[in-house]
Structure 1
Amino acid sequence: MAIGECKDIENGKADMLQDLEQPLVDKIVSYSSDDNDESELGNGSINMVLLSTAVAVSGSFEFGSCVGYSAPTQSAIRDDLKLSLAQFSMFGSILTIGAMLGAVTSGRIADFIGRKGAMRMSACFCITGWLTVFFSNGPLSLDMGRLCTGYGIGVFSYVVPVFIAEIAPKNLRGGLTTLNQLMIVIGASVAFLIGTVITWRALALTGLIPCGFLLVGLCFVPESPRWLAKVGHEKEFQVALQILRGKDSDVSREAAEIQASIESLQSLPIARVVDLFNTKYIRSLIIGVALMVFQQFGGINGIGFYASETFVAAGLSSGKIGTIAYACIQVPITLVGAILMDKSGRKPLIMVSASGTFLGCFLAGASFFLKAHNMLLDLVPVLAVGGVLLYISAFSIGMGAVPWVIMSEIFPINIKGVAGSLVVLVNWLGAWAVSYTFNFLMSWSSYGTFLVYSGFSVLTILFVAKLVPETKGKTLEEIQASINS
């Protein structure tokens, strides 16, 4: 079936999902909040929401595959293509340059061709990029392929959490949106692990798999009802909402709320970047931008991209063991974060997470301080590995997912495109700055680098405690009302 020929699923096709394993459905529902406002949802609706989410987070898995690619392949690529450290640093960081370009255009693209159309386009960019990397024989083609995959994941980083937030019932929204981060982590972990046993060219081909699954899966799930309502597709809006909530569910109340919210925004002019600084939007903008700054300048992309080399620098004979441990620990911890998202709430989770990243960076920094001063050298590798693993565990439980969840919730739909693009751009600009400067900062002062990152974790705790609202258990429309009250 050609991509252009894919049609949105009709009402009758929702019945095919009734055969999904009921225990799995019950388990996921049990992880949601105690809010019973969505109790009228039937099993069919839950199944369709789960299917739609599973398809969308294939883009998140692709995101993780791209991010995790450089760590296990660094030595092999440098040896095969005779790259200098500066050339490989460019290869590692140019992913984030492409992602910045994707971020700038992501909101407009998702508003113009829809959430599904944006995901299809992103998958095509990633496929092109991976094939270019596979056939590369020099730094130029290698960088161009990496740039293409970066553009694709830049769009994914915006559209996937937004799509999930717009299709999910409010009592499942936090947990389902967190699956975005879980799949990013799984994608990166798989790339880490597979990259230790296969060649860098073969690893590039594995990046094609999630793109293929996404392109096929999008043929069988509905478009975001909120986007359909926004662009005036009334009939398609009703059909999509009914499919997502179940053919026997009464969606009239939710449809009326969405329509009322959309109609109240229709009289407003098309949003521009300057409009984001309007009084009614400025708090949302500050929250979205600041959370992304704190997430990135806490050091995640520097530590993640070059984990293997960091472990070697700390005194391990090989970085593979530490890298494998790094990869394995992310998945279960991120899953715990997904479970806690709609139970503990967003604010407590991110504050606990930031406290953990502070401690992890402090321990890693202490290990390099001891090494620099020839003190307790037997303890240095243990502290370094322990600190990095604690850091990634803490990051995975909250700092990785919560900023994306909040970003998808706090902006009204009339500015979501331009605001989301700006917030994602800030995120990727920070990712580029951290990933590009990490090796140079480590050369300047290895322990100083980790202490700088720990300082941003402290700032995160203070900012969240003072300015970030709790969005747990609220509809998107209720969140807007609370922010602007």
Structure 2
Amino acid sequence: MLQPCQMASLDIGIIGHQLQPSISNGGPAPGAWSTAFRTTGRPGRPGRPGRKQEVSKEVSKEVSKVQAKQVRSMKQMNQARQRVFGPASLSGLLAFGCVCKARCQRINSTARAAVAKDKESINQGQWRLWMACVAALPGSFQYGFGLSAINVPQMSICNSLHLAPTSLTWSALVAILSPAGLVGAWLAPLAVSRFGLLTSLRSTWIFFVISGVLFPMARFAASKASLCGLLLFAAGRVVGGFGAGAATVLVPLYLGRIAPLKLRGAIGNLHQVAIVLGLLVAQFAGALLSWPRALQMAAAFGILQLLMSPLLREVPQIQEETAGGGFRVLLTDPQVRRPLSMAIILMALQQYCGINGVWYYSTEFFTQAGLPNPLAGSLLSSVIFMFATLASVPLIEKAGRRRLLLRGQIGAATSLALLTASLLANVAGFGAWTVQITLAAVIGFVVSFAISLGPIPWQIANEIFPLRCRAEAQCLIASLCEIFSASVALGFPLPALGPTTVIGSPSGVHTEHRGACGWLRLCQ
């Protein structure tokens, strides 16, 4: 950059360059300069002739000075230009560029490290989120395990307890799980308001461990006194049902609390996935183990729940949940009545569509339907149910709850109609081909249920209620679920109910074939 003195020299050089055309041979040209320096006296008085030559010399000296300054300024400009664009300055520019590049690289590396750290923290957060979800699911698993644990070893249990499979006592032992779950579901909101959601969820493992210990004791006691064995078996079902009923309230609440908005549907569906996994494990355990050991697995999974409880994430206690009055708001607030009626209808459809009959009595059903290996049919339906439930996890967010619910019901109604026709054909003696149709109809019904009425009612019940009564609403829905399930479990195996019909079939055809899959039985 030029100094101020250099800029002044440049200005003078420019002025001298402009004056140069008017000067020749050391004297001024005719015009303004000769007129201006012609006289030095007062205005109007002519000057002397000798004075003109003196003035011309002075002007020549001034012009020479201006020209000299112009030359010096040009030299200074050239020197400045060389300093800026010369070889030395180019090396400096290169060095400066290298410094800038290194600094930019450091900045970029720092930015990349920060981005990588953020991604790592996000991944760690998602990993902790999913681990917390998995740690919360053993309660839901125990609910499904209790539903189907006595299905496969039914005859062995009845022989050990000296009961007939069609007796009222056995029906009561099967159905007693639901009233116990009803009590657990009603007490769960009180535990949440007093001890908090996380503490209440962690404490459910105790009931499963006690339940798993009571079943082997029932086997031993039944060999000595049948009544004592019956009481211990019933106590095991009651204690396990109490913990499972509480879990049906606590697990959906916890999953809904920790789930981000974009993953709420997928995480909410994990409750149903765990229930189905419990059904599947119970089927295989009953097929591979003796019934005391199969039912004793509830204690093992309870201990596993205790070991996984440190993975649960802390959830803030919301003031609206501890304010009280949840049941009063649930029953008196007009804005809550419509969501409540919707949730009740969906839960009634879930239970009375007949799915629990499949898990309670599918082995007996396949036997009476003429399947050569009824145990294989039960296991196959459980495996397909598991995979269909897993497939529904991404479908809920992509396809939407309403669309899946409607299409699933269409598939379930079609499957039940086909099942009714195949059972009638089997009774009429149309041949062995009816067995394959029966199995296909059951599988179609299981898949339709798994993507619609299985997970969606639980999610809707956890999403449509305000926080001030959400726990109480979940409690009421779970309680009604237990009541509906108990009616199915209690009503199916009794011969006193007589001939049966299959609800869900558009034809409503009655059939004399007893044991028709456990769908809701009604008297003619």
- Superposed CA RMSD in Å reads 2.3
Deviations 1:176-213 (A, max 9, x none): 11111111111110110121111001101212232222
Aligned residue in 2 for 1:164:
255
CA distance in 1, matches of 2:144, 2:507: 23
Distance 1:410 1:328, change over 3 A: same
Aligned residue in 1 for 2:431:
377
Distance 1:437 1:52, change over 3 A: same
Match of residue 106, structure 1, among 175, 181, 188:
188
CA distance in 1, matches of 2:154, 2:339: 39
Aligned residue in 2 for 1:468:
none
Aligned residue in 1 for 2:202:
120
Aligned residue in 2 for 1:132:
214
Contact preservation (8 Å) 1:298, 1:454? no
Q: CA deviation at 1:453?
A: 3.8
Q: CA deviation at 1:41?
A: 8.4
Is residue 2:342 matched to residue 1:287?
Answer: yes
Is residue 2:272 matched to residue 1:272?
Answer: no
Deviations 1:146-178 (A, max 9, x none): 111111110111111110011010101110111
Contact preservation (8 Å) 1:314, 1:367? no
Aligned residue in 1 for 2:290:
199
Match of residue 185, structure 1, among 259, 266, 276:
276
**Amino acid of the structure 1 residue aligned with 2:155:** S
Match of residue 61, structure 1, among 141, 144, 151:
141
Q: CA deviation at 1:376?
A: 1.5
Q: CA deviation at 1:121?
A: 2.8
Q: How does 1:313-332 map to 2 (within 5 A)?
A: 313-332=368-387
Aligned residue in 1 for 2:108:
none
CA distance in 2, matches of 1:112, 1:441: 46
Distance 1:328 1:77, change over 3 A: same
Q: How does 1:399-410 map to 2 (within 5 A)?
A: 399-410=453-464
CA distance in 2, matches of 1:441, 1:454: 22
Distance 1:307 1:273, change over 3 A: farther
Deviations 1:391-434 (A, max 9, x none): 11111122111111111111111111222111111111001011
Q: CA deviation at 1:311?
A: 0.5
Q: CA deviation at 1:143?
A: 1.2
Is the partner of 1:142 in helix, strand or coil? Answer: helix
Is the partner of 1:196 in helix, strand or coil? Answer: helix
* Higher mean C-alpha deviation, range 42-51 or range 172-181: 42-51
Match of residue 308, structure 2, among 193, 214, 217:
217
Aligned residue in 1 for 2:475:
421
Contact preservation (8 Å) 1:296, 1:427? yes
**Amino acid of the structure 2 residue aligned with 1:142:** F
Is residue 2:498 matched to residue 1:444?
Answer: yes
Deviations 1:76-118 (A, max 9, x none): 1012221122222222111111111112222222232222222
CA distance in 2, matches of 1:275, 1:340: 31
CA distance in 2, matches of 1:348, 1:441: 39
Deviations 1:10-66 (A, max 9, x none): xxxxxxxxxxxxxxxxxxxxxxxxxxxxx9982222112111101011222222211
CA distance in 2, matches of 1:161, 1:368: 38
Larger Rg: 2
Aligned residue in 2 for 1:229:
318
CA distance in 1, matches of 2:444, 2:330: 41
Q: CA deviation at 1:443?
A: 6.2
Distance 1:111 1:344, change over 3 A: farther
CA distance in 2, matches of 1:196, 1:133: 17
Identity of aligned residues (%): 25
**Amino acid of the structure 1 residue aligned with 2:354:** G
Distance 1:220 1:149, change over 3 A: same
Aligned residue in 2 for 1:91:
173
Q: CA deviation at 1:274?
A: 6.3
Q: CA deviation at 1:220?
A: 3.0
Aligned residue in 1 for 2:232:
141
CA distance in 1, matches of 2:288, 2:236: 22
Is residue 2:161 matched to residue 1:81?
Answer: yes
CA distance in 1, matches of 2:341, 2:425: 39
Is the partner of 1:83 in helix, strand or coil? Answer: coil
CA distance in 2, matches of 1:306, 1:295: 17
Aligned residue in 2 for 1:20:
none
CA distance in 2, matches of 1:310, 1:181: 24
Q: How does the TM-score come out when normalised to structure 1? A: 0.74
Aligned residue in 2 for 1:352:
407
Greater RCO, 1 or 2 (C-alpha within 8 Å, sep 6+): 1
Is residue 2:167 matched to residue 1:72?
Answer: no
Aligned residue in 1 for 2:35:
none
CA distance in 1, matches of 2:132, 2:260: 13
Contact preservation (8 Å) 2:213, 2:296? yes
Q: CA deviation at 1:216?
A: 2.0
Contact preservation (8 Å) 2:210, 2:299? no
